[in-house]
A and B are shown apart, each in its own frame.
Chain A
Amino acid sequence: MGRCVRYAFLTLLLLAAGLVPAAAQTTTATLNASVNGLARLSISSLTISFPDSDPDTVPSVPASQGPVTITARARTSVNGAVTLTVQAADQLRSGLTTIPASQITWTASGPGFGNGTLSAATAQTVAVWNGSGVRSGTQTFFFRNLWSYPTGTYSLTMTYTLSAA
């Protein structure tokens, strides 16, 4: 009888100590989230113009618009390369007269951005980053001014390409 009483006492002790688990029911669910590759580019000005200037006083003509702000949004793999390039579709053209696209250069600011020279033959790198994110920077364009250019209004089209690995 003494042993039984000890059992009962021990059980009561455990109950009092809260060692008897509370009633509980559990169930699980699974969260799945898909993140696909995506890229978006925005440019503050879609027109860049260089005013007529005296080559002696303004050998390098800055664009009237000033710095162009570029914002690149990209989703890629971990540390995947994100590259922004620009390429001229043709030389600067005024009727049959042309000026090489390479007479246009730019200086850049912002993380990942670099200075460069425009080309109609090869896409030129504007900026390079790694991984997903939103990045902003500026490009300020300049036109190399020479006495040798025939008069006219010259134009070309540039194509920006934002790519993510």
Chain B
Amino acid sequence: MKRHILAAAVVVMVIPSGLAAQRLDLAVSPGVITFPSSDPDAVPVISAAPVQVSYRVRENTGAPWSLTVLAGGDLISGSSMVDISNVTWVATPAPPFQNGTLSKTVAQRVASGAGNVPNPNTTGSVTFRLANSWTYSTGTYTQTILFTLSAP
């Protein structure tokens, strides 16, 4: 038994400080982002209500962190599809937030920084926008997007 404890102690002692577990918190509200139906001539780009992204990074001294978003696929309504790249976002404040375009294959960076973000009320505003088109078939389209806050 003593031998096992000794081995564990050795492991803990040699782990570099950068590998120590960071403490990350992430919340997105509202959880449903809605694009209302609009006339493409009058509203060529449909803006959803802004999404508030609250995040906190602790025990991450000097190391980078990033917030990304990845779509689970295209917007789907039955057999109809709208390419997810038609969804973009405008985010503030910049930095750490940045604008971008949704992808279903590569997680796209929404925000990034380094070190700690100790304030529990740190938030950004992300407004998703859908490029409107006459070519879309009628229907109610849906898709899930995944936000990931990671460090390092």
Contacts and interface: CB of A to CB of B under 8 A. Distances in A.
A23 B55 CA distance: 14
Interface in A115-144: 131-134
A151 interface: no
Nearest to A4: B7
Contacts of A20: 19
Interface class of chain B by DSSP: strand
Contact of A23 (B24, B36, B140): B24
Given A20-B19, A27-B147, A34-B35, A7 B141 contact: no
Interface residues of B, number: 61
A32 B139 contact: no
Interface residues of A, number: 39
Contact of A78 (B24, B75, B137): B137
B145 to A, nearest CB: 5
B25 interface: yes
Given A31-B145, A36-B37, A73-B41, A22 B152 contact: yes
A34 B140 contact: yes
B126 to A, nearest CB: 9
B117 interface: no
Contact of B135 (A1, A25, A27, A132): A132
Contact of A31 (B11, B22, B39, B143): B143
A76 B80 CA distance: 11
Contacts of A80: 137-138
Interface in B1-49: 3-4, 6-8, 10-11, 14-15, 19, 21-28, 30-37, 39-41, 46
A30 B150 contact: no
A20 B4 CA distance: 21
Nearest to A79: B137
A34 B4 CA distance: 60
B11 A12 contact: yes
A57 to B, nearest CB: 45
B54 to A, nearest CB: 10
Given A31-B128, A31-B143, A40-B41, A23 B150 contact: yes
A4 B21 CA distance: 24
Interface of A: 1, 3-5, 7-8, 11-12, 15, 20, 22-38, 40, 73-78, 80, 131-134
22 contacts: A1-B3, A4-B7, A8-B11, A22-B150, A23-B151, A25-B148, A26-B26, A27-B27, A29-B31, A29-B144, A29-B147, A30-B143, A31-B75, A31-B142, A32-B141, A34-B35, A34-B37, A35-B136, A35-B137, A35-B141, A76-B137, A78-B80
Pairs A-B, 3 closest by C-beta atoms: A4-B7, A23-B22, A33-B35
